[in-house]
Amino acid sequence: MASDLFRSGRLLVVAFEGWNDAGEAASGAVRALKDVLDVVAIADIDPEDYYDFQLNRPQAEFDDDGRRRLVWPSVTLFGPASDDGMPRSKPADDDLIGVSGTNHDNIYLLQGVEPSRGWRTFAAETIDQALTADITGVIILGSLLADVPHTRPISVHVSSENPEVREELGVERSTYEGPVGILSVIALAAEEAGIPTISLWASVPHYVHNAPSPKATLALLDKLEELVDVVIPRGDLLEEARAWEEGIDALAGDDDEMSGYIAQLERARDAVEAPEASGEAIAQEFERYLRKRDDEPPTEGPGPA
């Protein structure tokens, strides 16, 4: 059972394009949320201090009037909108576009490109905006490449640095040590500011890293739905995920080496998830052994020599 905090508080869902976003799964989940939530942009972070524009170049495009403009890499905070299109100070009851549930009108989104520099200042500015919006909980979305098969359900690992959240949600503390992205910096900054945080990471098959993974996006939305107690319309994602899997099946069908490798990953995944591999199943088997031993008549010992 998810805690009251994440079922009824003001929640900020965070995802960034870039290093933390294998298969565009995390950024895709936030885009899907933005499409079905009644939210408007309430704050932008100035990109000038945080981006190396040789790494994240601005994009030239034409607007609706045919004028050329530049779109700079940026990060935007989206919040609930009132009927006049301005952010509201308190959630309303009926401004629902597609999401339903007890907390559908209390979700904020932070979306953008992972910054290139100034991470500590960037995180501090982000948390200041969260505090200004009275955010009570932060949900971090990320995705990583892993040795997993595309034919099995996408696993999503949930963790938290907050002891109370771990106890209430029954989740673990991450044991990872190594290089991190901006998500980890923001998560720790949020905890230091007194905002509880949970992290959701989807595992994306590494052998299809060049293509977006709608199946991983769906897995993140499923887990988010479970934790936040909302119902999120999936739109075209279900069909896109099916087409994604069928497309990889077709590629593997023409490549014996790839097909064999996927079969190997499937066997490894199935072995880990098999009932006989779980700790509970092992304990039950041991109990059956003890009962059987107790029910057997004692055997006679050897006679005198």
Task: For residue 148, give the CATH number of its domain.
Answer: 3.40.50.10900
**Residue 120 falls inside a structural domain:** yes
Do 132 and 272 sit in the same domain of this protein?
A: no
| Residue for token pair 């901006």 | 182
Q: Among 235, 253, 284, where does a domain finish?
A: 235
Better-predicted residue by pLDDT, 192 or 297:
192
Task: Compute the distance between CA of residue 233 and CA of residue 249 in angstroms, rounded to an integer.
Answer: 27
3-state secondary structure of 80: strand
What pTM value is reported for the model?
A: 0.82
In the chain, how many domains are there? 2
Domain that holds residue 62: 4-235
- Take residue 190 and report the two structure tokens written for it: 């949020």
Digit-coded pLDDT (tens) for 222-275:
999 988 878 888 889 999 999 999 999 999 999 999 999 999 999 999 888 765
**Residue 58 falls inside a structural domain:** yes
Do 279 and 175 sit in the same domain of this protein?
A: no
Do 221 and 108 sit in the same domain of this protein?
A: yes
Do 215 and 274 sit in the same domain of this protein?
A: no
Pairing of strands 137-146, 197-205: parallel
Do 202 and 108 sit in the same domain of this protein?
A: yes
Do 145 and 291 sit in the same domain of this protein?
A: no
Digit-coded pLDDT (tens) for 136-156:
999 999 999 999 999 999 999
Do 169 and 271 sit in the same domain of this protein?
A: no
**Residue 269 falls inside a structural domain:** yes
**Residue 122 falls inside a structural domain:** yes
Better-predicted residue by pLDDT, 5 or 272:
272
Do 200 and 287 sit in the same domain of this protein?
A: no
